[in-house]
């Protein structure tokens, strides 16, 4: 049941428990308990809203930063990641395979603000060897959702 609950909720976290239990053919109590358990176990880590900020008057700049680091004695990647992810500006941090170590996604109000964060906070860290900043110009698809897509049912009203 877990996988099925998650598959539905990943697309629609606002679905109510009653509907969800009908969809899955389970009792409401069982579904509610399972969700509570998954929250407890940090399988479900939050309920967020997917916003297309480009359609608001809010100015937002998102950058993806490739970071190379040297892990130091007594300080593995996790420790370095922690120093990075504690900043509020940092939205995501991933440890990567390949040519660099971390992907850091940063959100700021202006490009200047993001650049400043990189040069003042991120780059000077002891373990950081280098950074490469890439600004996001346009988001087409985010979290599996096509942002500007207009959904229209083009089927005929009645067919055999």
Residues touching another protein, count (CB under 8 A): 15
Q: Quick check: 159 binds another protein (CB under 8 A)?
A: yes
Q: Is 49 in the site for another protein (CB under 8 A)?
A: no
Residue 144 within binding range of another protein, rule CB under 8 A: no
Inter-CA distances, 112 with 28, 121, 132, Å: 50, 14, 15
18-57: string of b/e by CB count within 10 Å (b at 16+)?
Answer: eebbeebebeeeebeebbeebeeeeebeeeeeeeeeeeee
Nearer to another protein by Cβ, of 22 and 51: the residue is 22
Residues 4-43 that bind another protein (CB under 8 A): 4, 7-8, 19, 22-25
| Rounded alpha-carbon distances, angstroms, from residue 62 to 72, 85, 159 | 29, 15, 46
Q: Which is nearer to another protein, 25 or 124 (CB)?
A: 25
Span near another protein by CB under 8 A; candidates 54-62, 81-89, 129-137, 152-160: 152-160
Residue 158 binds another protein (CB under 8 A): yes
Q: How much is the CA Rg of the chain, to the nearest whole Å?
A: 21
Coil, helix or strand at residue 104: strand
Q: Which is nearer to another protein, 12 or 57 (CB)?
A: 12
Residue 155 binds another protein, judged by CB under 8 A: yes
Strand partners, 69: 128
One of 98, 124, 144, 160 touching another protein (CB under 8 A): 160
CA distances to 6, 40, 43, 104, 138 from 3, rounded to whole Å, are 5, 16, 11, 29, 32
157 binds another protein (CB under 8 A): yes
Residues that bind another protein in the complex, under the rule CB under 8 A? 4, 7-8, 19, 22-25, 153, 155-160
């Amino acid at each position: 049941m877990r996988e099925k609950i998650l598959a539905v909720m990943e697309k629609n976290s606002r679905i109510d428990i009653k509907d969800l239990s009908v969809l899955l053919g389970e009792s409401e109590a069982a579904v509610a308990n399972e969700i509570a358990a998954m929250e407890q176990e940090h399988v479900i880590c939050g309920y967020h809203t997917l916003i297309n900020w480009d359609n608001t008057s809010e100015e937002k700049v998102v950058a993806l930063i490739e970071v190379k680091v040297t892990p130091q004695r007594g300080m593995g990647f996790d420790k370095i990641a922690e120093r990075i992810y504690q900043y509020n500006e940092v939205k995501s941090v991933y440890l990567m395979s390949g040519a660099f170590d971390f992907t850091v996604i940063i959100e700021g109000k202006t490009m200047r603000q993001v650049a400043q964060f990189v040069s003042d906070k991120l780059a000077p860290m002891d373990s950081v060897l280098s950074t490469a900043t890439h600004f996001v110009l346009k988001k087409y698809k985010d979290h599996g959702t096509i942002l500007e897509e207009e959904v229209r049912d083009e089927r005929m009203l009645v067919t055999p």
